[in-house]
Structure 1
Amino acid sequence: MERVVLKNAPKNLQMISPDIQKDIVHAIASEITKEIICDIGDDVFSILVDEARDTSIKEQMAIVLRYVNEEGYVMERFIGIAHVADTKVLTLKMEIESMLVANGLSLSKIRGQGYDGASNMSGEINGLKTLILAENSSAYYVHCFAHQLQLTLVAVARHHGAVSDLINLVGGSSKRMDKIRECQAAKVVEALCRGELETGRGLKQELGLKRHCDTRW
């Protein structure tokens, strides 16, 4: 960008206006998405979907693709967010199909579905998983492991007051939080050395403690 565009542009062309910045972000996002789709190729994949209301009080649905690349690594790649007027099953399914089609993917290539346990997502009669299974019997549903873990941790924290007290104690002090991060970072490095974490991805994981209300599912 700097070598090709900025050096050949007028000195007053700084490309910092909001519109230009948005155009640049959209262009980068488009190129990254193309690389993800190219990485999947004609292979099968799974979808991870969740919806939440953002700060502007709009219901947004995020879609992540999970697949195995040519090197045998399991990859999870975010491909987009869609604004949905409601959380009805047909609305969600239509938006998922639209995003897949827009990226040259087919519903028939889905081999797994991962959602939370809400009835509109996992219902046996009219849930999203059931509608997709009706069109693709190979799209097996699994209750999102992260959601199950979150539910478990919230239940434990509510049942055992000491857990909430510990989180409040550590979270209320930057020095204590730094100690937690240092200890966790040391454990991550140790796990990397033992080969328990792959390619250093574990270095990007959360190193602090979160209250159970910090995550919405």
Structure 2
Amino acid sequence: MTIVLRYVDNLGFVKEIFIGVVHVKDTSSLTLKNALKEVLTSNKLSFSQIRGQDYDGASNMREKFNGLKVLILQENDTIFYVHCFAHQLQLVVVAVAKKHDNVSDFFEQISLVVNVVCALCKRKDLLQEQARQRVQKGLCSGELETGRGLNQETTLVRAGDTRWGSHFNTLTSLMKLFADILVVLEFVKVDGGSLANANKR
């Protein structure tokens, strides 16, 4: 769980500070509340000092009876709750994009490619092997540079409906692996053809 505090300093300026990432055993609202309480206590803060809380729209956060929002309101009923605006914006962007036929069709085709390539372990392995060979060849020929953080292994990422950023990650991974994906699709075409012929027999 990532924790960020937003507060007003003595001069009246609004500040935002990243407290840290806390490991939690599960994402139930009670576990999150207890973890949050520990973090506040270790920073000499308490729920009585909180004036607002802000999360995404997941059910464990906003559920009416046992959500994190409600559990914290039981500690201090003056805490104002705000649904994360960044998360709302993500949902709006995805929804608006899907209303545009060309954009919707484009991402449908991308999703189809990802599903076909990632459907079987055999295909994923082929994709990784093709990418490894391409990088190795590029390094040997001098086309690719070596260095820290360069030539990292990339996988084909599926886009999620609630995060527009995941669509960007899908497109980025597709562009990086484009030549390798073509090899896998050719394999699927040939393999599918041989399966069809075998079934005819």
With structure 1 as the length reference, what TM-score do the two structures score?
0.47
Q: Is 1:95 the counterpart of 2:35 in the alignment?
A: yes
Task: Find the counterpart in structure 1 of residue 21 from structure 2.
Answer: 81
In the TM superposition, what is the alpha-carbon distance from 1:138 to its structure 2 partner?
A: 1.1
Amino acid at match of 1:91: T
Q: How many residues align?
A: 113
Assess if the C-alpha contact under 8 Å between 2:93 and 2:164 holds in 1: no
Is the alpha carbon distance of 1:98 and 1:163 closer, same or farther for their aligned partners in structure 2, counting shifts above 3 Å?
same
Distance 1:215 1:103 in 2: 37
Q: Is 1:213 the counterpart of 2:158 in the alignment?
A: no
Q: Which has the higher helix share?
A: 2
List gaps (5 residues or longer) in structure 2. 107-162, 170-201
Task: Find the counterpart in structure 2 of residue 188 from structure 1.
Answer: none
- Which structure has the greater CA radius of gyration? 2
Is the alpha carbon distance of 1:215 and 1:97 closer, same or farther for their aligned partners in structure 2, counting shifts above 3 Å?
farther
With structure 2 as the length reference, what TM-score do the two structures score?
0.51
Assess if the C-alpha contact under 8 Å between 1:154 and 1:212 holds in 2: no
In the TM superposition, what is the alpha-carbon distance from 1:70 to its structure 2 partner?
A: 2.7
Task: Find the counterpart in structure 2 of residue 123 from structure 1.
Answer: 63
Runs ≥4 in structure 1, deviation > 4 angstroms? Answer: 161-165
Is the alpha carbon distance of 1:78 and 1:215 closer, same or farther for their aligned partners in structure 2, counting shifts above 3 Å?
farther
Q: 1:149 aligns with which of 89, 97, 101?
A: 89
Q: Is 1:111 the counterpart of 2:51 in the alignment?
A: yes
Distance 1:142 1:150 in 2: 16
Amino acid at match of 1:160: H
Task: Find the counterpart in structure 2 of residue 202 from structure 1.
Answer: none
Distance 2:68 2:15 in 1: 23
RMSD over aligned Cα, in angstroms? 2.5
List gaps (5 residues or longer) in structure 1. 1-60, 166-209
